[in-house]
Amino acid sequence: MTSSYLLSRAAAPADTLETAARLRLVRAGLKSVPGVSSTQDGASRGQEAHAFIDRLAELSPGAWLEFGRELALDPVAVARCRQARIALDSILADSALSIAAWRICDAVETLAFPTMRCSGKWTREQRRLVALAHHGAECAALALLSRDHLDEASAGALIGRFSTS
């Protein structure tokens, strides 16, 4: 199972009302994202990041765990992501996207929280995998937001595993 599969066909949430409430909260915080550029087709990078956040909201704790497991099996990709994240952090610090980036990080944290909350029942290794998935999702969302400022290799390293195409 690949992460693309996980995001294109999300697992059914255990509590649909809780998921819907979390998503409403996240959307309210992301309603206006300042400093976001437009792409050629008119869709803003903020909208791409919002769509990604919507897909994250549908993931079950098991899907987060599976994605973390998939990341852990590819240490070369993790190393590339670390390097790309350094470039991304530099771009976000020096651009008008800093507030939008904070909102994106907060949204990912809000959506990952129920999975992290389950971690008391999980082994130490499973908690590590969920943390890895959380970090990967945050990097991908931030890369979608700032893709216009990132080189292709960095964008691919950060977004590639979460791609739905």
Average of pLDDT values for 83-88? 88
What is the model's pLDDT at position 11?
Answer: 41
The answer to whether residue 117 scores a pLDDT higher than 50 is yes
CB contact at 8 A, 53 and 33: no
Considering only CA atoms, give the Rg of the chain. 15
Query: 87 falls in which pLDDT band (50, 70, 90)?
Result: confident
Task: Check residues 157 and 27 and name the one with the higher pLDDT.
Answer: 157
Where along the chain do its domains lie? 44-162
**Six token digits for residue 158:** 């950060």
**Distance (Å, whole) CA 23 – CA 15:** 12
**Distance (Å, whole) CA 148 – CA 84:** 14
pTM exceeds 0.75 for this model? no
Q: What is the mean pLDDT of the chain?
A: 76
